[in-house]
Amino acid sequence: MPIYEYRCNQCKREFSHLFLNPKVVSQAQCKYCKSKNLTRLLSCFSVHQTEESRLANLDTSKPQGEDYYKDSRNIGLWAKKRMRELGVDLGSKMDEIVEKGRTGKILEEFNK
């Protein structure tokens, strides 16, 4: 049974939601104001995800919230996935590139 944590974009409160049925995950709504305008937070459960599965779950076509980029791990992750999608094979240079990503330089280079 997945437990997800959300922040409501309407009333700004955070709450966790236990889904008894995984099929209704997309129907999550705020406990307080019933808004469906929610941001899913990284919960303690997702720490156990491998980087591969975090990459797989990351949708680079959607802008991530400001908070997302406050976690420097996510910046590197986003960059990795984005470059895979662009067909850029960086091999062992990846770590170096990810370091650049953490300092924000990577977006300058790849947005040219």
Residues binding Zn ion (CB under 5 A): 8, 10-11, 30, 32-33, 35
Longest dimension (CA), the chain: 48
Question: Least separation, in Å, of the C-beta of 11 and Zn ion?
Answer: 3
Q: Which residue number, 17 or 84, has a Cβ lying nearer to Zn ion?
A: 17
Cβ atoms of 30 and 6 closer than 8 Å:
yes
List of E strands, the chain: 3-8, 14-18, 38-41
Q: Which residue number, 12 or 105, has a Cβ lying nearer to Zn ion?
A: 12
Question: Least separation, in Å, of the C-beta of 76 and Zn ion?
Answer: 31
Question: Least separation, in Å, of the C-beta of 20 and Zn ion?
Answer: 21
Q: Which residue number, 8 or 77, has a Cβ lying nearer to Zn ion?
A: 8
CA nearest 68: which of 56, 82, 58? 58
Q: Which residue number, 8 or 79, has a Cβ lying nearer to Zn ion?
A: 8
- The burial class, CB within 10 Å (0-12 / 13-18 / 19+), for 70 is exposed
Question: Least separation, in Å, of the C-beta of 6 and Zn ion?
Answer: 9
